[in-house]
Structure 1
Amino acid sequence: MDGAALIDEGTATGALSALVDDLVATRAMMGALQAHEMNVLAAAALVAELSRVPSTSSREAELPLRSVSAEIGAALRVSDRSVQRQLTDATLLTSRFPRTLEALRDGRISRAHATVIVDAAVHLDDRDARSAYEANVIPYAEVESATRLKSIARVRAEQVAPSSLPERHGRARGRRHVRVVDVDDGMCELVALLPAMIGHGVHDRLTALAHEVRRAADSSRGSDRSSSADAPAERGNARSGGASCGPADEPPARDDRSMDELRADLLADLLLAADPIAHNVPTGSGAVRATVQITIPALTLLGRGTDPADLAGYGPIDAETARGLAGHAPGWDRVLTHPVSGCVLAVDRYRPSEHIRRALRVRDRHCRFVGCRQPVHRCDLDHSQDAAKGGTTDAWNLAHLCRRHHILKHHTRWRVTQLPDGVLEWVSPTGRVYRDVPVTSVAFRPAGDAWLDNDPSRDPDPPPF
C-alpha cells in the first residue's frame, strides 16, 4: 500500500472518529432535553390532577387530564390520546424512578433505555424495592443496548419484587386488549395483549395451520405430476376420439406465500369468517364483513383509473382492493362535489337512507376534533351549536365526534363553532384557536388548475357588466 493511500485511510478514520464523538455528544444533549420534556409533561399532568373535582364517576374525574392532553396535542399537532399516554409515562418516570431520570438527563442512557427500565418495574410499588432495582439495573443500561437490557431488567425487577409473579399476573390479565395501529402502504398492525401462554399458543396454532396449508398445496401438485405420467396416452385417445381435455390439463395454482404471510392470512380468515381458506380473492378480503367506509373515484370504480380510494380513519388504499370491497357492498353512495372547493354538494344512494347522515359521513370521514382519526362509524353525530340552545339539525350545524371528544366538548371549556363549508373552529381553554377542515375539501379538489381556469374570479378580463 502506498503512502498516499495510508494518508487517505488515516484521514477517513480520523474524520469518522470525530463524527462518532459528535453523535455521542448529540445523544447526550438529546437526553438532557428529553429529561426536561419529561419534567414539563409531568408538571402538566399535575395541573390536570389539581383541577380534578371529587366525583364518583371515573369518566368525570379523568376529564381534566383529557382537556390538558387535548390542549397539548393541538399545539404540538399530535393525537391527544398519545399525549395522555405521555403524561402518564412522564409522571411515572419523574415520581417513581428519579435515578433513571437523572441518568437520562446526564446523557448516560437514552430515552429507549429509560422506557425499558420503567416498563420492567412498573409493578414495583415499594420505594425501597424500586431504589434497589434502579441501583442494580442502571449500570447495565450504561453499557448494553436497550434491546439487551429488556431481559436483564425483568430479572432484576423480579429479584426485588415484594409480590409474587402469580399475583402480578392476575393483575396484568385485567389489562388485556386488542388495538389497531395504522402504518404506511395500506397496512396496519393488529396488536393484542394476551397472557403469554395464550399468545404463544395462538402463534403456534397459526404456524401449524400454515404448515398444513403448505402440505396440502404440495400434495396437490404431487398428485398432478403423478397423473400427468399417463397424459400422453390419454391425449392420444383424446385425439383419436376427437375429445378435448380442456381446463383439466391446467396445473393447480402455486401458493408462494411465506410462513409469515400464511400466518397473517389464517388469522384474518379465522377471525372474520371462521374459515381458514377464506382468502379466495386476490385482495385477500373475501370474508370481510366488518363495517368500513371507503370513498372511490368513479373512474377507479369503473376500472378506468388508478387513483387510490380512501378508507375512513386510515387514508389511501390501492384501487384493486377498493374495487374488490365495492363488489361485495350492499349499496353505494354517489357523491357530487364542488369542482373548485371540493365541498360535498349532494349525496344520493341506490338504496335510500337518511340524507343528512349520509352527506355528513361522506364529508367528515372521521372525528372532527383536531388531529383525531377515529372513523365516522365509531363517532356520534353532534350539534355544533347545542339543540337546547337553538341549534338546528342541519348539515351546517352537525359534525362527527368520537365519544372521547364529544364528552370533551360538552364537559370541559373547549368550544367549537362550525364555519361555512363544514370547517370547525375549536377554541381551547387557554384561548388557542384551531381549525379543522373536512377531508373532502382536500380529497376531492382536482390536482391541477384545470377547474380553476373556469373560475370567473380568476378571469383577467371579466365581462363589462
Structure 2
Amino acid sequence: MDLGTRASSTAVLLSRVGERIRSREALLVEEWEDITAWASDHVIAGPEGVATITEGYLDTGVPIAGPGAPLVSEFALMELIAVLGRTPDGGKAYVGRVIECAWRLPHVYDAVVAGRLAPWRAERIADLTRPLSADAAAFVDRQLWDASGVGWAQLERLVTEAVLRFDPEKAEAERREAADNRHFDIGEVDEHGLVHLDALLDAADGHDLNQAVARRAEVLGRLGDESSLDVRRSKAAAELARQDLALDLLVPDPDTGEVVATVPGRKVVLNVHVTDTTLTSDTPADQAGWNPVGRWEEGRCPVTSAQIREWLRARHTTVIVRPVIDLADHVPVGSYEIPGRHRTRVILRDHTCRFPHCTRPAQRCDVDHARPHAEGGPTCPCNLVPLCRRHHRAKTHSTWRYDAVMPGTYLWTSPNGHRFRVDHRGTHPVRTNRAAEPPDE
C-alpha cells in the first residue's frame, strides 16, 4: 500500500470515527430529553407531597438536584435507573445532573440540545452547581450563554464567585471548616494484594509522621533490609500500626462508664468452605484439586492463599475459623428471626444487595424473606436474600417484585414490567414484550 492509499484509508477511518461520535452524542441528547420528559411526569410537588400514598404503597419524593429542581418519585426513579442499566447511586447521580441542567441551568441545557456542548461537559458543570443556592446557580448559568468556551479553571472560579456573591455566610463557614476535611483512607486492594493510601493531615502531624517513618526505614536498612527506601518506608508504616495493635488498651464506655479491655493484635476470621474437593496437603500431587484463591471480605477482592498464610503468621494475630459446609444447604428454623449462621451463609453466597445493578456489600444489608414468613416462607438460606435498606423498602412498599429462581439467582420485575435477572455474574435485562404490556392491576 503506497502512502497516498494509506492516507486515504486513514482519512476514511477517521471520518467514520467522527461520524459515530456525532451519532452517539445525538442519541445521548435524545436520552436527556426523554429523562427530562420522564421527570416532568413523575414530580411530587410541594413539601406536603413529599411522602404520599400512591396506588396503595408509600412513595417518597427525593431531591436529586439543587434547590428549586423538582422532587421526583423514589420508586419511579428506581425503575428508570434499572432501565438505563446504571447502578443505583451512579444512576441517581446521572439523572440528577440531567434534571439540574434542565431546571436550574437552562442555558447549559439548551447548549446540549443544540449540540454546542458535549453532555459530559454539562454533567461536570451540574456537579459544581448542585450545592449552590438557586440565585447562585442562575448567576453561573447566565455567564454560560456560550458554555463551550469555558475552561474548567474558569468554571471553578465562576462557581467560587457565585458563592461569595450570593452566600457569603456559607463561604465563610466552608473556610472555617476546611480543617475538618482531614482524613486517612486506605483504598481498594489491587490484584497483587497491595493498597494505596490517601491522606490529608495537619502540617505538623504530617511532619511528625514523616519523621517517624523515615527513622524506622533507616533502622530497617541498618538491620540488613536490602529493599529500596520506598519499600522500607512502606514497611515502617506497617510497623507503626502493628506497634499500636500490640498495646493492651483500657477504654471506658462513653455511655456506661464501664472499662473495656481491648484484645491486642490483629483479628482474622477465616471462613473455610468445605467441599468434597477440599484438600489441605501442600504436596504438588494433592494440590491438583485445591483452589489457591481466597476472598478477603473486608477488601472485597480475591487474594492468594500464600498471602493469607502471611497474614495469619503475623505476630499477635487471633484466628477464628468458621467452617462453611454448603452455602446452598437447607437448614430452616421455625422462627421469623434470622439466626446469625443463616445471615453469614447468605452474605457469603450473594456478597452484595441483589437488586438490579446494586453493589452495596451484603454485610451492610437487611436480609429479606423472598416469600414472606407470614405466607409460609421458611426462615432458611434458600428463602433469604440480602437487600440494602433502600431496595428492601422498594420491594416491601412498591410494586417491585422478585422470584428466587435458585439460591443466589433472582428474577426481578419492575412496576412497568421490565425484567432483570440478577446472579453472581451481575444484572442482565430479560428481553420480553412484557414492558410493552400495561402493568398488572
Same fold (TM over 0.5): yes
* 1:252 corresponds to 2:225: yes
Please name the residue that 2:60 is paired with.
61
1:185 equivalent to 2:158? Answer no
Q: Aligned residue for 2:149? A: 140
Distance 2:269 2:85 in 1: 28
Gaps of 5+ in 1: 142-148, 193-198, 225-249, 279-285, 348-352, 440-465
Among residues 16, 19, 26, which one is paired with 1:32 in the alignment?
Answer: 26
CA distance in 2, matches of 1:125, 1:397: 48
Q: Tell me, yes or no, if structure 1 residue 95 matches structure 2 residue 84.
A: no
Report matched runs for 1:261-410 at 5 Å.
262=234, 266=237, 275=244, 304=287, 305=290, 307-312=292-297, 314-324=300-310, 328=317, 330-337=319-326, 343-344=328-329, 354-410=340-396
Judged with a 3 Å threshold, the aligned counterparts in structure 2 of structure 1 residues 114 and 55 are, in CA distance, closer, same or farther, namely closer
List per-residue Cα deviations over 1:385-411 (Å, max 9, x = no partner). 222333332333222222222122112
Cα deviation, 1:180-229, whole Å, max 9, x if unaligned, reads 9868637799999xxxxxx75458855763464235423654xx4xxxxx
Q: Counterparts of 1:307 and 1:204 in 2: how far apart (Å)?
A: 45
Classify the secondary structure of the residue corresponding to 1:39: helix
What per-residue deviation string (whole Å, max 9, x for no partner) do you get for residues 43-81 of structure 1?
Answer: 334444349982569x96247744234323433443222
Q: What amino acid does structure 2 have at the position aligned with 1:377?
A: Q
| Number of the residue aligned with 2:435 | none
Matched, 1:163 2:175: no
| Structure 1 segments (4+ residues) deviating >6 Å | 171-181, 186-192, 290-298
Once residues 364 and 397 of structure 1 are traced to their aligned partners in structure 2, the CA distance between those partners, rounded to angstroms, is 13
Number of residue pairs aligned between Structure 1 and Structure 2: 372
1:97–1:364 distance in 2 versus 1, CA, 3 Å: same
What is the one-letter code of the residue matched to 2:214?
R
Would you say the 8 A contact 2:266–2:318 is kept in 1? no
- Using a 3 Å threshold, how does the CA distance of structure 1 residues 21 and 164 change in structure 2: closer, same or farther? farther
User: For the structure 1 residues 12 and 258, does the alpha-carbon distance in structure 2 shift closer, same or farther, using more than 3 Å as the test?
Assistant: farther
Distance 1:422 1:45 in 2: 34
Cα separation, 1, equivalents of 2:220 and 2:353: 49
Calculate the TM-score normalised by the size of structure 2. Answer: 0.65
Q: Distance in 2 between matches of 1:292 and 1:113?
A: 47
1:49 to 43, 48, 56: 43
TM-fit CA distance, 1:379: 1.6
Q: 1:321 to 1:39 in 2, by over 3 A?
A: farther
More helix by share: 1
Question: Which of 128, 131, 156 is equivalent to 2:141?
Answer: 131
Deviations 1:81-102 (A, max 9, x none): 2211112111102222233233
Distance 1:181 1:69 in 2: 30
- Which among 118, 137, 140 is matched to residue 110 of structure 1? 118
Choose 428-437 or 163-172, whichever is displaced more. 163-172
Q: Relative to 1, partners in 2 of residues 1:275 and 1:344: Cα closer, same or farther, differing over 3 Å? A: same
C-alpha change, 1:370 and 1:103, in structure 2 (3 Å) is same
Evaluate the alpha carbon distance shift between residue 358 and residue 49 of structure 1 in structure 2; reply closer, same or farther with a 3 A threshold: same
Q: Kindly indicate whether the alpha-carbon contact (under 8 Å) linking 2:108 and 2:145 is maintained by their aligned counterparts in 1.
A: no
Cα deviation code 1:231-269 (max 9, x no counterpart): xxxxxxxxxxxxxxxxxxx7235354369x849x95x99
Q: Aligned equivalents of 2:372 and 2:268: distance in 1?
A: 32
Kindly state the Cα deviation for residue 433 of structure 1 after the two structures are TM-superposed: 3.0
146, 153, 156: which one pairs with 1:154? 156
Q: By how many angstroms is 1:378 displaced?
A: 0.9
Whole-angstrom CA distance in 2 between matches of 1:62 and 1:95: 16
1:159 Cα deviation from its structure 2 partner: 3.7
- Check conservation: 1:44, 1:68, Cα contact below 8 A: no
Larger Rg: 1
User: Any idea what the Cα deviations from partners look like across 1:361-392, whole Å, max 9, x if unmatched?
Assistant: 33333222223232222122222222233333
Q: CA RMSD in A?
A: 4.8
CA distance in structure 2 between the partners assigned to 1:294 and 1:177 by the alignment: 38
Please give the secondary structure, in 2, of the residue aligned with 1:332. Answer: strand
> Structure 1 residues 120, 434: closer, same or farther in 2, change over 3 A?
closer
For 2:225, give the aligned amino acid: P
Amino acid at match of 2:191: D
TM-score, normalised to structure 1, is 0.62
